[in-house]
Structure 1
Amino acid sequence: MGLLSFVLGLAGCDPQRIAELEEGVATEADVRARFGEPEKIWDAADMADTPLPGAAAAPGARTFEYNRQPQGQANYMITIGADGKMSALRQVLTPQNFEKVLPGMRMEQVRKMLGKPMKVTPYALRQETHYDWRYLNPPSTARIFTVVFDADLKVKGTASVDEESMNPSGGTR
């Protein structure tokens, strides 16, 4: 229970942390001071094959992944430019980003776009693997976005459902 409170407390502080960071001004040290160590660090070359990579693919850029799954409803990608300053801060679990997940995309591309999922479920008989992310559909509907990968870990399809329909008791799957 203590860990759950800690995780929920972290997510609750995100708006304050974000307000303290300004693109083009905040440094890598500022980002780490407010968000801590990233879950993953992606180099510019890693991000170049994602749809609309923007600042994340600029030479010398690094993107820090801050994951709020499985209990939270956000994943943040914070890009630090070659000059050491924050060039972008994005909450990536949005319907607009989900629309960019297309059949045939590789699992690595999806992972770089959306961050670490809350849950990965292999279905051996179907030769599928499902990745699930919790997110908040504006203004306040808790939902789960699922990407279905085939045996080669390429996107087969996607779905999005209200979390309440998956977990009527309010617990996690």
Structure 2
Amino acid sequence: MTLWAAISAALAGLVACDPQRIRELEEGVSTEADVRARFGEPEAIWDAGPEGPPGRVFEYNRQPAGQKNYMITIGADGKMAALRQVLAPAYFARVQPGMPMEELRKLLGRPAKVTPYALKRETEWEWRWVQAPNSDMVFTAVLNEQQYVVRSGSTPDRRAEAP
């Protein structure tokens, strides 16, 4: 087994366990320690920001092997206030031209793929996600040189198509 195959298998195992881990957590009851015990160390920790109650947001990213990114909010009281899977149309709709890169990253998590286009002076960020009932999709946000979104949208994931 190659190293990449071993890593992919391990990541797939982590993703497969997510529904069980989520069932073991309860908003307003589970603590930060409970979240870390089930999900491990977060990839990133963000301030919850002015739009919600005070606290921190833990990012649990399943890209590029998976098709989900979880944001778990820990309130000022140390308890889980919210658990959201953010690779979904409601979150994509919040991505608008002029949005700064940092805000995009906090909204959707680390992308599965980042592709710079030097001649166009743009960079594409891609996230893989599943549209109900079971269509593999890619959401793309294009950023300009100043690191602001210029356009975004979803298309079918061509990787999922047979050769």
Equivalent residues in 2 for 1:8-157, closer than 5 Å: 8-44=12-48, 47-48=49-50, 53-54=51-52, 58-59=53-54, 61-157=55-151
Task: Give ranges in structure 1 of 5+ residues lacking alignment.
Answer: none
What secondary structure, in the 3-state scheme, does the structure 2 residue paired with 1:29 have? helix
Alignment partners' CA distance in 2, 1:128 and 1:72: 26
Deviations 1:140-171 (A, max 9, x none): 111000000111111100121111x355348x
Residue in 2 aligned with 1:168? 161
Task: Give ranges in structure 2 of 5+ residues lacking alignment.
Answer: none
AA aligned opposite 2:29: V
**RMSD (Å) for aligned C-alpha atoms:** 1.3
> Per-residue deviation at 1:65?
0.2
Alignment partners' CA distance in 2, 1:82 and 1:134: 32
Alignment partners' CA distance in 1, 2:160 and 2:20: 30
What secondary structure, in the 3-state scheme, does the structure 1 residue paired with 2:126 have? strand
Alignment partners' CA distance in 2, 1:166 and 1:100: 26
Q: Does structure 1 retain, via aligned residues, the 8 Å contact 2:136–2:160? A: no
> Per-residue deviation at 1:11?
0.4
Once the two structures are aligned, what percentage of the paired residues are identical?
57
TM-score (norm 2): 0.93
TM-score (norm 1): 0.88
> Per-residue deviation at 1:32?
0.3
